[in-house]
DNA sequence: CACCGTCTTGACGGTTCCTTGACGGCGGGC
DNA sequence: GCCCGCCGTCAAGGAACCGTCAAGACGGTG
């Protein structure tokens, strides 16, 4: 769970933010002015800071500068001002993102997630899905079974990749056909059978009794996690 | 083409909205009160909802809360009230954006587009409905009873999904038949009995005395929350 | 042009699922 | 008590779907 520090002097807005963020799984700490914001940032070590400009004591830019003196925590600035002038200021000083009021809660949430993601330096995005003895490397577009590479055709790979990106989730026939063959093929279910069989022959220990690539008759296919 | 659900009890405004939206390429569904809004959202699966506060039956906030129980569809609230009080309420409950009347059609349109865009980027959003020892995962299309997966046929799943999306609310026979079998089957009530029985056999501890899938004779079925 | 890997298409047998009918239980109205 | 409507149960037949094999079509490459 990520921790967010909300810095805002309007109690109503601060409360609304806190409630929404908590509902979405964030741990929330609040501060109502610039000085306590700096204190809270030092003691709580949040993963990201939401900073409303126009605080009673310090100018928002001072808060950013103060934080940047010792921390590289991502900062998302919140502002009522419409024009770009202080946007440039804030970004210059080291803010990471900028949202003008009124804003949509989802947008803020998305920007926070993005900010945290960017903030995590150690994120080379190791996109490898492991399923039993299968290793599916989404970045390199490779599959290995018990350590040895398996050669897949482009269509086989597209099929498998789609299932792997939805690991453990049922992917409907229509979705597979749309994604792999294109929107016009939405009803060509024959392809599914041919390619499911082909993947099983290459990837399953016992293709006749698949343990990974599971069929749900009339619905679609699932790449089973366990 | 994106689909929008317009919830407004003033016919004139609802019509004006529908016409304008359709002219801009939206697919439009309308509802005039809170209850039918929830029904329509469950059956139509809009990409975004425009919700006018001040409905005859339910408070707008109740509608938001009801929707948020199972859906993460973006909601844009429409309100005549000028001051911020219920704005905060609406956002607290999970609305995504807020437009005060009178508004420019262009502005609403832009906010809808933005809401849809954000909705698509947003997280996969765990949508799991828990009923007793049942876990119904709407995103993965899976049901587990006491932790173990239960295999459902496509029709069984469609039936259960509809009830789960209307958790605790009675779903009429007509609505189920229309949704699961199609508009032409609105009077084939035999199907309901067969499939209700089948679901109970798979999901209930004692199929003869169901505690979750409840019949209301002559009316329809309810998936009981407790 | 011939070769090769890949994609498409067809046919067939086995399985799952849907549909349909028949029957019994339950409860309300008369 | 009897009738009637509605619900729940079971089972059978047929339709839809799946897995499999293999032959042809297609598109690059040498």
Q: Give the CA-trace dihedral at B47, B35, B139, A120, to 10 degrees.
A: 70
Q: What is the band of A122 on the pLDDT scale with cuts at 50, 70, 90?
A: very low
pLDDT value at position A126?
Answer: 46
HSE-CB of A116 using CA atoms within 13 angstroms: 17
Contact B96 A105 (CB under 8 A): yes
**DSSP label at residue B218:** T
Instruction: Name residue, tokens 């329509």.
Output: B40
Q: Do residues A67 and A41 touch, judged by C-beta distance below 8 A?
A: yes
Greatest Cα-to-Cα distance within chain B, rounded to the nearest angstrom: 57
Please give the average per-residue pLDDT across B122-137, as a whole number: 74
Of B111, B122, B140, the CB nearest to A169: B140
pLDDT digits 0-9 by tens, B195-217 = 999 999 999 998 888 899 999 88
On the question of pLDDT at B23 being above 70, the answer is yes
User: How many other C-beta atoms are found inside a 10 Å radius of the C-beta of residue A34?
Assistant: 22
- Nearest-Cα distance to chain B for A65, in Å, is 31
Range of A91-100, B33-42, B124-133, B180-189 with top mean pLDDT: B180-189
On the question of pLDDT at A147 being above 50, the answer is yes
Q: Which residue has the higher pLDDT, A156 or B35?
A: A156
**DSSP label at residue B152:** -
Alpha carbon of residue B128 to chain centroid: 14
Q: Do residues A224 and A211 touch, judged by C-beta distance below 8 A?
A: yes
On the question of pLDDT at A43 being above 80, the answer is no
Q: Which residue has the higher pLDDT, A210 or A93?
A: A210
pLDDT digits 0-9 by tens, B72-83 = 788 888 876 555
The domains located in chain A, with CATH, are: 3-119 (3.40.50.2300), 128-223 (1.10.10.10)
Which of A112-121, A168-177, B55-64 bottoms out in mean pLDDT, i.e. has the lowest?
Answer: A112-121
pLDDT value at position B117?
Answer: 63
Q: Say yes or no: Cβ of B194 under 7 A from any atom of strand D.
A: yes
Q: What is the band of A45 on the pLDDT scale with cuts at 50, 70, 90?
A: confident
> Which residues in A have their CB inside 8 Å of a CB on B?
12-13, 15-16, 19-20, 23, 102, 104-107, 109-110, 113, 168-170, 172, 216-219
Q: What is the band of A84 on the pLDDT scale with cuts at 50, 70, 90?
A: very low
Q: Say yes or no: Cβ of B217 under 7 A from any atom of strand D.
A: yes
Q: What is the band of A119 on the pLDDT scale with cuts at 50, 70, 90?
A: low
The token pair at A111 is 């920007």
Q: Which residue has the higher pLDDT, B182 or B61?
A: B182
> Which residues in B have their CB inside 8 Å of a CB on A?
74, 84, 88, 91-92, 94-98, 111, 114-115, 118-119, 121-123, 139-142, 151, 153-154, 157
Q: What is the pTM of this model?
A: 0.58
Could you tell me the distance in Å between the CA of residue A65 and the C1' of nucleotide C10?
A: 71
Measured between beta carbons, the chain A residues lying within 8 angstroms of B79 are: none
Which residues, in sequence order, are CB contacts of A225 under 8 Å at separation 6+?
A131, A167, A168
Please give the average per-residue pLDDT across A104-125, as a whole number: 61
Could you tell me the distance in Å between the CA of residue A154 and the C1' of nucleotide D30?
A: 22
pLDDT value at position A29?
Answer: 86
pLDDT value at position A195?
Answer: 94
Please give the average per-residue pLDDT across A89-108, as a whole number: 67
Q: What is the band of B94 on the pLDDT scale with cuts at 50, 70, 90?
A: low
Q: Characterize the bridge pairing of strands A134-137 and A128-131.
A: antiparallel
Q: Say yes or no: Cβ of A215 under 7 A from any atom of strand D.
A: yes
pLDDT value at position B195?
Answer: 95
Q: Which residue has the higher pLDDT, A212 or A21?
A: A212
Residues 125-184 of B with CB under 7 A from strand D: 173
Contact A218 B153 (CB under 8 A): yes
Taking alpha carbons only, the member of A77, A91, A24, B125 closest to residue A3 is A24
Instruction: Name residue, tokens 């940032």.
Output: A41
The token pair at B135 is 């876990």
On the question of pLDDT at A1 being above 50, the answer is yes
Could you tell me the distance in Å between the CA of residue B226 and the C1' of nucleotide D2?
A: 40
The token pair at B114 is 């933005």
Contact B94 A170 (CB under 8 A): no
pLDDT value at position A121?
Answer: 42
Which of A112-126, B115-129, B145-159 bottoms out in mean pLDDT, i.e. has the lowest?
Answer: A112-126
Q: What is the band of B62 on the pLDDT scale with cuts at 50, 70, 90?
A: confident
Q: Say yes or no: Cβ of A212 under 7 A from any atom of strand D.
A: no
> Which nucleotide, over all strands, has the C1' atom closest to the CA of B151?
C16
On the question of pLDDT at B6 being above 90, the answer is yes
Q: Do residues A219 and A173 touch, judged by C-beta distance below 8 A?
A: yes
On the question of pLDDT at B159 being above 90, the answer is yes
Please, which positions of strand C sit below 7 A from a protein CB? 5-11, 16-22
Q: Which residue of B has its CA nearest to A105?
A: B96
């Amino acid at each position: 769970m990520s921790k967010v520090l909300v810095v805002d002097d309007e109690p109503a807005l601060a409360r609304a933010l806190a409630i929404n963020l908590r509902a979405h799984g964030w741990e929330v700490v609040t501060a109502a002015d610039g000085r306590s914001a700096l204190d809270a940032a030092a003691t709580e070590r949040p993963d990201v800071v939401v900073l409303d400009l126009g605080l009673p004591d310090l100018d928002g830019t001072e808060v950013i500068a103060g934080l940047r003196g010792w921390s590289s925590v991502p900062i998302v600035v919140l502002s009522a001002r419409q024009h770009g002038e202080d946007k440039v200021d804030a970004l210059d000083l080291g803010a990471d993102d900028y949202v003008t009021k009124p804003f949509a809660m989802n947008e803020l949430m998305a920007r926070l997630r993005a900010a945290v993601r960017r903030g995590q330096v150690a994120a080379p995005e190791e996109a490898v899905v492991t399923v039993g003895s299968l290793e599916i490397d989404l970045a390199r577009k490779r599959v290995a079974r018990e350590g040895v590479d398996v050669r897949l055709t482009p269509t086989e790979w597209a099929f498998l990749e789609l299932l792997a990106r939805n690991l453990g989730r049922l992917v409907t026939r229509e979705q597979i056909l749309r994604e792999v063959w294109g929107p016009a093929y939405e009803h060509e279910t024959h392809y599914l059978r041919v390619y499911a069989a082909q993947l099983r022959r290459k990837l399953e220990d016992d293709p006749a009794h698949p343990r990974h690539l599971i069929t749900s008759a009339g619905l679609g296919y699932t790449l089973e996690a366990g």
